[in-house]
Amino acid sequence: MLDAYEPLVARDPPDRREFSTRLFALAEQYPTDVEVLTKMIFHATTVPLSARLLAARRATELDPKYSDAWQSLGRMLAEANEPKEAMEAYEQCIELAIGSTDCLADRLRERSLQGRCAEGEGDARKWIARSPNTAAGYLWHAEVLAAQIKPRESVEAVLKQRWSKLPPASPEAQLERAKLAALYGDFETALTELEAHEQLVAGDLNVEPHARGRLFALEILLELGRTKDARKVADKFFAASSAWTASIAADAQQLPVYLLPQQAARISRKKGEPVRAPTDWLSLASKDGTLNPVATWLFTDAMFATSAAEAREALDRSPVALGTSFGLTRDLPKGARSPTTAFELGRVLQTAERPDAARHFFQLAAGSCGAFGDTLASTQALHALGKTLEDVDKPGACKAYSALLARWAGSQSRSAKDAAARHAALDCPKP
């Protein structure tokens, strides 16, 4: 096992593909060792899904009382676009591991992506009841409350419980303070909190916390129409980036590392100029197999389309068909299942003048329970959704604008200002 982990923990950058290869070889060498099997299933991300799913089924047969085996099966079924069977596997795990929270967390994540926020709130409360002294359950509780547009005081009260479980001067808590402020339209406070976050992570050698905070600042500045300031944030990040190293974290957690260079390239691109995005991290992730084809296509190609012709050409290059039956949990590879991805896909389709498909993706982004984690994208999606509904569903458009204004009314947000004007023009009921 130590030899299998060597490419991951002793190399810079980590070689995830070799790590997966060694884990798979170890599982083949010990085919009846359930712990080795589940380790491979969870972590050998470049091994084909079909092989890991087969191994997960075998693990539950070898030891039907081993909760990790059922959790591994649940994750593989979810990744294989079988959400109903995945939920059944998680149920088995939850029943077997009475004091554990792992499978509750996995079930909550799937419900979140499906927009089942009220049910997710129940899972979050159970998570906290089972493990009241750990911080993670409180974060998910805040997520599902925020998604249901509960008052800021409710979300903040839950977050304060979480922060009390974290170390003093925690960068995580600091970033969450910025997210909380931005979620309710207090963008200047959010930017101030992000400056404090930057100071807290100054000595961190891992690139991810730097990218996460700076991407958030860049996106807030773009929402406020302060493009020049956004470019300064990106330039400062790139000037220091050679001092940081890659992380061994899962690809979904690394999305800010990939997305910040792309966002910076998008705002710096002049009309008619070819895309010259710095894609070092994207290239590395694609080579290692830790970033899926949908995310690679979207963040290196499609998101740069600025005309209907460019967007249609990008859609022709898409690795999957994007239509109104497409789902976050059913059709997107695991690392791309987020409101941010759905929102960006919607923008591409909207640019390509495919309003029905665009509306579907905006609904996915706005309807998931990721309002706190994907603070800006989930709320911006309400604005985009309202615009696509105005001619086909006026009450639906009013509902989307009202939901946005419940968070951002009175702020300097460009989306909020336009939504307020459209809300008034449609003579919508007061939010």
Q: What is the DSSP string of 328-378?
A: HHHHS-GGG-SHHHHHHHHHHHHHTT-HHHHHHHHHHHHHSS-TTTTHHHH
41 pLDDT band, cuts 50/70/90, is very high
Tell me whether the omega of the peptide bond preceding residue 13 falls within 30 degrees of 0, making it cis: yes
- The class level of CATH for 305-431 reads mainly alpha
Q: Is 97 helix (H, G, I), strand (E, B) or coil?
A: coil
Confidence of residue 327 (pLDDT cuts 50, 70, 90): low
pLDDT in tens, 354-393: 999 999 999 989 988 888 988 999 999 999 999 999 999 9
In 330-366, which positions are buried (b, 16+ CB within 10 angstroms) versus exposed (e)?
ebbbbbbbbbbbbbbbbbbbbbbebbebbbbbbbbbb
Q: Is 65 exposed, middle or buried (0-12, 13-18, 19+ CB in 10 A)?
A: exposed
More confident residue, 288 or 29: 29
Average pLDDT for 236-243: 83
* Residue pair 78/108 in contact by the 8 Å Cβ criterion: no
Q: Is the pLDDT of residue 288 over 50?
A: yes
Q: Name the one residue in this structure whose structure tokens are 């059913």.
A: 330
- Residue 252 confidence (pLDDT) above 50: no
State the pLDDT at residue 15: 80
- Give yes or no for residue 287 having a pLDDT over 50: yes
> What is the C-alpha separation between 263 and 219, in angstroms, rounded?
8
CB 311 within 8 A of CB 288: no
Domain boundaries, the chain: 1-98, 168-291, 305-431
Higher pLDDT, 327 or 209: 209
| Same CATH fold assignment for domains 1-98 and 305-431 | yes
Mean local confidence (pLDDT), 97-124:
89
- Reported confidence tier of residue 286, pLDDT bands at 50, 70, 90: low
Which residues 6+ apart lie within 8 Å of 31 measured at CB? Answer: 37, 58
Checking if the pLDDT of 248 tops 70, the result is no
Does domain 1-98 match CATH 1.25.40.10? yes
pLDDT at 322: 78
pLDDT for position 253: 45
**Separation of alpha carbons 370 and 113, rounded Å:** 8
Query: What whole-number distance in Å separates Cα of residue 115 and Cα of residue 402?
Result: 18
Distance CA 51, CA 173 (A): 39
Mean pLDDT, the chain, rounded, equals 87
- Percent of the chain at pLDDT above 90? 60
Looking at residue 115, its pLDDT comes to 86
Q: In terms of pLDDT, which residue wins out, 37 or 270?
A: 37
Instruction: Kindly state the tokens that stand for 110.
Output: 């799937």
What digits encode the pLDDT tens for the residues 343-360? 999 999 999 999 999 999
- Which residue type does 234 have? A
Residue pLDDT, tens place only, 145-194: 999 999 999 999 999 999 999 999 999 999 999 999 999 999 999 999 99
The CATH code for residues 168-291 is 1.25.40
Tokens of 130: 């089972």
